[in-house]
Amino acid sequence: MRKKVLVVDDNANNLMLEKDLLEVAGFEVFVAENAADGIAMARKEKPDVILMDVRLPDMRGTEAAGILRQDKETRDIHIIFVTASVMAEGREETKDIPNSGFIGKPINTRTFVKDISQYIK
């Protein structure tokens, strides 16, 4: 069975790039353009990993992660924050989210799938 990845990003170019890279590598990919849709999709599909932008139009990605962490169905899913907020304050915002990681934008297309794969059981 293929591993499932949920990509939550409001930038259509980033969303499609990440989706394409992951699909070429054999992942089943689901997408959402805002946090609320991402939360709903995570609850429905129960992906192996969630790639979450920090700056989303309806709420911060870290806030969405907090909601997912409170739900017994989604609390153990790895969340990788993929964000342009690579400065210290951006990392600080994500560091207290359990079972999470961080990848800065722009992503390295040559190592992206490998970077994601290390978070999948």
* Chain length of the chain: 121
What is the reported pLDDT for 88?
A: 46
pLDDT by residue for the chain (121 residues), tens digit each? 799 999 999 999 999 999 999 999 999 999 999 999 999 999 999 999 999 998 899 999 999 999 999 999 999 999 999 887 655 455 565 667 778 888 888 999 999 999 999 988 6
What is the reported pLDDT for 94?
A: 64
Which stretches of 1-121 are DSSP H helices? 12-24, 35-45, 61-70, 88-94, 112-117
Sign of the dihedral defined by the CA atoms of residues 71, 115, 23, 1, in that order: negative
What is the reported pLDDT for 34?
A: 98
CATH number at residue 85: 3.40.50.2300
What is the reported pLDDT for 119?
A: 85
| Of 43, 28, 50, 52, nearest in space to 119 by CA | 50
What is the reported pLDDT for 86?
A: 54
How many structural domains is the chain composed of? 1
What is the reported pLDDT for 1?
A: 79
- Edge-first strand order for the sheet with 4-8 is 28-32, 4-8, 49-52, 78-83, 100-104
What is the reported pLDDT for 91?
A: 57
| Of 112, 103, 104, nearest in space to 18 by CA | 112
Burial of 35 (0-12, 13-18, 19+ CB in 10 A): buried
Whether 91 and 81 have beta carbons less than 8 Å apart is answered as no
